[in-house]
Chain A
Amino acid sequence: MSLILIVLAPFLGALLPAVMANAGRRTCALTTLTVSAVALVGLVSRVPEVLAGDMPVAQVEWMPELGLNFTLMLDGLGLFFAALILGIGCLVIIYARYYLSRDDNMGEFFTYLLLFQGAMLGIVLSDNILVLLVFWELTSLSSFLLIGYWKHLPDGRQGARMALTVTGMGGLAMIGGMLILGRIAGSYDLSVILENREAIQASPLYLPALLLILLGCFTKSAQFPFHFWLPHAMAAPTPVSAYLHSATMVKAGIFLMARLWPVLSGTEVWFYLVAGTGLVTMVIGAVVALFKDDLKALLAFSTVSQLGLITFLLGTGSAYAAVAAVFHILNHAIFKCALFMTAGIVDHEAGTRDIRRLGGLWRLMPVTFAIALISGLSLAGVPLFNGFPSKEMMLEEATHVTFFGPEWLVPALATVGALFSAAYSFRLIGHAFLGAKRDDYPAKPHDPGIGMWGPPALLCVLVLVIGILPWLAQPAVFFVAQSVLGTTADIPEGLYLKLWPGITEALMMSAISLAGGLVVLLLFRPAAWLWTAAHVPHAKSIFDGIVAGAVALSRGLTQPLHDGAFTRYAMIFAVAVAALSGHAWLTGEVGPPTREPLPMNEVAVAGWLMLVTATAAIVVFHRNRLFALILMGIVGLMVSIGFALFSAPDLAMTQISVEVVTIILLLLALNFLPDETPRESSGLRRLRDGTVAVVGGLMAAGLSYHLLLRDFVEPSISAYQLENSYKGGGGTNVVNVILVDFRGFDTFGEIIVLGIAAVVIYALTEALLSGPVRAKLLNRRPEKDLAGDMHPLMMVVLTRVIMPLVLMVGVYIFLRGHNMPGGGFIAGLIVAIGLVMQYMASGYYWAADRQRYPFHGIIGAGVLVAGITGIGAWFAGYPFLTSSYGYITIPPLEEFEWASAMGFDLGVFLAVVGAVMLSLESFARMARRRDQKDSEHAMDIDPSRKETT
């Protein structure tokens, strides 16, 4: 079976349990088991090749440029781990089938389990370290789901989060480490990296790469001080714990250290860091494990300790230790899985995992006891069980290692570690199973069915076989160890895995530790008292404290900054713009003026003075909203005069009509606001904002002044437009031709903006009027006295008389637009003003009654007309908005010009009228009050008027 299929099988299979969950628990579990078994069979089918010395490889290109290819390979080490993952995986699945209760969603569970299994397989079979990273993080994510499987338990959620955070952190560090490693080696393929030992170790980037990668490995393999997540991960259902602690997850870090052993090991940093951490972890884990009362917690810390042992072996860097490490990985996987399953059985059948509430189970659960005994003694490192030979090798290695001088230090620490390991193993057996039968178990303990004891029993057989006949495992262990060593070292001559090593220092240490373990157990009560009194800091509370601190800090940073204070937002904006553009200005070279300033004349100076006065007055009087509005009108008018002065009458006309319309609309809006703007900012803040405003204004003015005195780098495009507006666009009014032809597309966009604005105002009004605001608006009492004359006679008459004239002017302006100042935009504004006057004079209802076409429609029609005019050019084979013009004669009129741009201008006209009127209508709808009668009569008296005295 292809390697890719082997890895993908669990991922693809992960879909099945969720589907099969409805087909019953048995089917669901069987499906899952089949998936794992298929992958296992596939793996076995490739074994002969590996044994023959080949290295099966499979590759699918993924991101070849980055060097990220989905490359898998199977060598001795990969095969070993894959076999453990799948083999133990099958047992765990069988066990889980009987362990999970009917309330648990089995489909979900097995889906997560298979995802996790696939991710682990991916790690051990990857040839590309980036792919390895992908699977690495996938294990973090899928274990998050597994640990948090019992979502209702706070422990599960917190444990899952903690595991994800810690291992995720390591994974992220490893991303950095792997990228550096790949950079040094010039490839992300393991096969290349493994051959570049010298280059990598000589590189100045070796140290950061090593540190980052080790951070990943240590967090994953629960090495001190990152060990704390593992005990909390036991909140997962026990089958998961059994799987995580034995063959997977925590072994991933070990695996990676073994995988990269040939290139990373052998340096001083590696030695002190890895061996040191391993040793410390081994001792601390063992000591803490002894004092845990929860069976699973005890086992979890024992895992920490045992992983420390393996890490230590990998850290020493000798070939002998590497063999020992491989051997112990195998042994630990076997007995630890059996032990966790036992703990699960006890929990399942006795209703508790608390050692203090157990004891005497050996009579009630003989089979379980046998399993626990065998695997427990193996854990303790008692001869004849498989934990013994590998632990012997560790102790042997310890006698050859020195840290910082004293020769006794490492052996002594190793012995202490082994001693406490023996002690907690004995405690597990002694306090939970031996002793007198109790009568206060939460449930009635009894042996479970074979489904639950079968898998651990099978493992116990292995424990005994390897323990008694270790040479049976020797070829396999040596083969794997050689693939760890790669080409850097060979398995030491004359090394044999044997049951009886002879009388050596290591054996003495072993004997001391076993005897010492028994002694410690006998002294457990006082020791436990001491332990409690010592108040060893709790890792979880430290972690929780850090997380809570991080959250508090992040809130402290985020919320005050993003509290919705708009003036501050704007101030920061202004400061940033001023600072960065100032920087740009100062780092460049200021060019000399290349243009003569225009001579000053009275009009210009007067206009300038008025502008300055009006703007300054706004600053002073801006709290009076009406007055500020009038002052703004002055600014607008001065701008129009400026346009007129510079020979742009179109723009001047447009600006004036826009001014009128905006002021009317703003006046209507002011109707809903208080007359005065309240004071909201303190004096200091006003000073700050004022300073920023003045500096920004001066900078803008300075920039404008500079630009006015400088010429274009090349002649501007306007010369072309001046020259060709009639020849190419058919109009002599260049501004209009620019608007409807040269840059008609801009205008198309702008009328849409206008249309959208009106539609938005309408939608907003609708939303307001269908909400609670409606009642508020209806019951609003005007602040000021109303004029009695709602619809003044003179105004009504005047506006009606004037209406046809206004429309006529509009049409005139529209028609002359192409050649003379005018055009659709101005015409639209003029007509809209004419209509607005009707509304103002005669009232909303009167006017609305006489309005035949809805303003929405007019806007839509305007955009459509403009668009269709543009599309029309397609049929002549020209691009969108290409204009054409010609001359026609309709008797009895004289010949006159037509231009397709006129259709476009009509669209502009309609859109402008519609947009202005729809906005006005929306305001008017909001202005309705309950105390007002809907009056049909145009010239009436407001009865609600209050008498003024």
Chain B
Amino acid sequence: MSHWIVMPIVLPAMLAALIVLAARYHVALQRVLSVGGTVALLGISAGLAFGASDGTVTVYLLGDWTPPFGIVLVADRLSTYMVVLTALLAFLVLLHAIGSGWDRRGRHFHALFQFQIMGIMGAFLTGDVFNLFVFFEVLLIASYGLMIHSGGAIRLRAGTQYVIYNLLGSTLFLFALGTLYAETGTLNMADLAGRVAAIDPGASSAIRVASVLLLLVFAVKAALVPLHFWLPASYAEAPGPVAALFAIMTKVGAYAIIRIYTLIFPPDLPLTEGLHGIWLLPLALVSVAVGMIGVLAARRLDRLAAFSVIGSMGMVMTAIALMTPAGIEAALYYIGHSTFATAALFLIVDIVRDRRGGHGVRVERAPPIAGGALIAGLFFAAAIAMAGLPPLSGFLGKLLILDAGFGSPLVGWIWSVVLASSLVAVLGFARAGSTVFWKSREATATDAGDTGDAPPEAGVDGGPVSLTPALPVIAAAGCIAVLVALTVFAGPMTGYLRATTAQLMTPQPYISSVMTAEGKPIPDKEKDYGKDPGGDDDGAAPDGLVGTEGAEGGDR
């Protein structure tokens, strides 16, 4: 039996525990473990993706229980794609966190980082909705820890809002799961698919509510307007590398929607017909608009980046909301693009913050930053990607979405909003970028003449540059490089994603892979207690242990 599929969850969890246990005072050791683990994860993820690339659905029975009675992990094209994205992002972000010294500005960065990866990986791999909830909790609490890493009043306040809002989401998740379980009596996704399809259309209200509640839970994660309010402040205030890692967190919501609404509530299911058709797409378009308008409105680069996340997720949700193969394919491509574009932007903003000293990331004139041309170039590239201009992947993703939108009755709206918001984004990025990176030169000219405030600023400017200034830049450039790769290999990439979509749209192989998997044999006879799955037994059964107080506990 191959255990690789559980490794993306177990490995970071064990590493994090080990760091907490044995390395909590050794930053160097933590770094070695963290980087080593992330690199290993990259290899494992690539292997998993390779294994799934021919359409194989790998099922892993935790505890070796026959589905749907235990928890299963499932690796198909979609989940391994997300796992690869996560591993790659985690590696780049980790480089930045180490290079910029963020990991030393508070306690337990690496442990929380690994736990966070574990949570994300688990959410992508699990085939059980309650287990998905557990991983949502893991990634929520770990992300909260990372978000408020190194403290500060403003950050703590933003963090509080973040965690409370997401707890609202978690509560809603429980409501949704309760409703779902009450209707179907199961938690396994593949089993759910079968049971939901068997529900009498004459009694559809409750399952429809369950479906919508789940959708809303994931929409909170995906920052769909009007459930996005947790995002701007928390992403803007989070440490740069953490915000960059969060780029994949919003995708967890998008992933879950794609998974649940192709597997359990597929688009052609009569039971859930007309459920979200009238509001999901409009809300997604509003998200695009809100995000890009926020980009234009931003007075600080970090807010700008945070709002661009909302816009970017709006694009993903627009594509998903079409609920067509072309839409899902476009969404998957855009997810990859958006992850690294967002991450690049946050990493660059952090570098700017680091090098600009007291001016922070406010969009205002300041002394020029060290290595300005390179940073400006990276920002330029990230902005191009984010605004969806050629030649980077944002443009291709946008083409895919526009193309997919053709069949929709709202095609006019989709096109207008997507294209107009790009223009707004271009304007916003151009204003911010030219002020931060270009206006600075003017400032030097005047500062040099004006002896009043030049010296202290120069001092501040020289101060906070981190120990290894190259590493953060390499990480940011790495994100851009991934975008370039996504662009150059767009053909093979979309081909693969088309196959992924096809797999999603015909869920039967997935369902049968899960439901036909056989767990450990259960000994037949009540008396045959000694038979353990390992095979060795040793004798007679004890008596007097038959009664169970919990016997009815499982029943509702």
Contact = CB atoms under 8 A, between A and B. Distances in A.
Contact of B71 (A138, A736, A745, A876): A745
Contacts of A171: 389
Nearest to A704: B178
22 contacts: A66-B396, A134-B395, A160-B434, A172-B423, A547-B427, A558-B293, A569-B161, A570-B164, A577-B213, A580-B212, A584-B275, A646-B552, A648-B552, A717-B191, A760-B112, A762-B108, A821-B549, A859-B17, A882-B533, A883-B63, A884-B533, A895-B539
Contacts of A557: 290, 293, 297
A710 B205 CA distance: 12
A171 B395 CA distance: 12
B102 interface: no
Contacts of B208: 584-585, 587-588
B454 interface: no
Contact of A759 (B111, B523, B554): B111
Given A727-B522, A760-B145, A766-B106, A176 B419 contact: yes
A749 B69 contact: no
B297 to A, nearest CB: 4
Given A157-B434, A562-B232, A895-B542, A721 B554 contact: yes
A820 B549 contact: yes
Contact of A763 (B107, B161, B195, B498): B107
Given A63-B490, A65-B494, A887 B538 contact: yes
A19 to B, nearest CB: 13
A393 to B, nearest CB: 36
B1 A877 contact: yes
A741 B427 CA distance: 56
B364 interface: no
A867 B290 CA distance: 44
A712 B551 contact: no
Interface string B25-38: 00000000000000
Given A589-B202, A717-B186, A879-B3, A137 B434 contact: no
B183 A710 contact: yes
A864 B21 contact: yes
A710 to B, nearest CB: 7
A880 to B, nearest CB: 5
B179 A703 contact: yes
A717 B399 contact: no
Contacts of A896: 542
A137 B62 contact: no
B183 A759 contact: no
A685 to B, nearest CB: 17
B13 interface: yes
A749 B138 contact: yes
Q: What are the 8 closest A-B residue pairs judged by CB atoms, nearest first?
A: A591-B203, A716-B185, A767-B151, A860-B21, A712-B185, A718-B554, A860-B20, A760-B145
Contact of B274 (A62, A160, A573, A587): A587
B400 A66 contact: yes
Interface string B485-509: 0000011001100100000000000
B452 interface: no
Contacts of A753: 134, 137-138, 141
A883 B138 CA distance: 24
A712 B203 CA distance: 12
B196 to A, nearest CB: 8
Nearest to B329: A65
Interface stretch (B81-89, B345-353, B439-447): B439-447
B24 to A, nearest CB: 6
B183 A647 contact: no
A7 B426 CA distance: 26
Interface stretch (B41-49, B247-255, B459-467, B524-532): B524-532
A726 B529 contact: yes
A585 B373 CA distance: 57
B300 to A, nearest CB: 12
Contacts of B402: 175-176, 179
A752 B106 contact: no
Contacts of A581: 209, 212-213, 216
Interface stretch (A29-37, A162-170, A361-369): A162-170
A589 B203 contact: yes
A880 B430 CA distance: 52
Interface string B278-310: 010000000000100110110000000001000
Contacts of A283: none
A360 B367 CA distance: 43
Contacts of B138: 749, 752-753, 756
A137 B389 contact: yes
Contacts of A749: 119, 122, 131, 134-135, 137-138
A165 B145 CA distance: 41
A771 B366 CA distance: 27
B390 A133 contact: yes
Nearest to B24: A856
Contact of A63 (B141, B389, B396, B415): B396
B455 interface: no
A161 B426 CA distance: 9
A550 interface: yes
Nearest to B224: A576
Contacts of B380: 145
B131 A179 contact: no
A237 interface: no
- By DSSP majority rule, is chain A's interface helix, strand, loop, or mixed? helix
Contact of B165 (A152, A160, A573, A859): A573
B68 A864 contact: no
Given A752-B13, A878-B533, A161 B198 contact: no
Contacts of A707: 178-179, 182-183, 206
A819 interface: yes
Interface in B316-375: 373
Contact of B438 (A157, A179, A648, A873): A157
Nearest to A557: B293
A887 B420 CA distance: 71
A135 B395 CA distance: 12
A579 B398 CA distance: 31
A764 B149 CA distance: 8
Contacts of A870: 10
Contact of A68 (B399, B427, B556): B399
B528 to A, nearest CB: 8
Contact of B6 (A743, A861, A879): A879
A752 B419 contact: no
B16 interface: yes
A726 B65 CA distance: 13
Contacts of B434: 148, 151, 157, 160-161
A239 B149 CA distance: 51
Contacts of A555: 297
Nearest to B421: A172
B179 A885 contact: no
Contacts of A873: 64
Interface string A492-528: 0000000000000000000000000000000000000
Contacts of A878: 1, 64, 520, 533-534
A317 interface: no
Contacts of B200: 591, 713
A90 to B, nearest CB: 25
Which residue, of A707, A762, A870, has the highest number of chain B Cβ atoms within 10 A? A707
A897 B428 CA distance: 68
Interface in B197-251: 198-209, 211-213, 216, 220, 226-227, 229-230, 232-233
A724 interface: yes
A713 B184 contact: yes
A688 B16 CA distance: 45
Nearest to B137: A753
Interface string A696-738: 0000100110111010111111101110111110101111101
A732 B184 contact: no
B88 to A, nearest CB: 21
A371 to B, nearest CB: 33
A278 interface: no
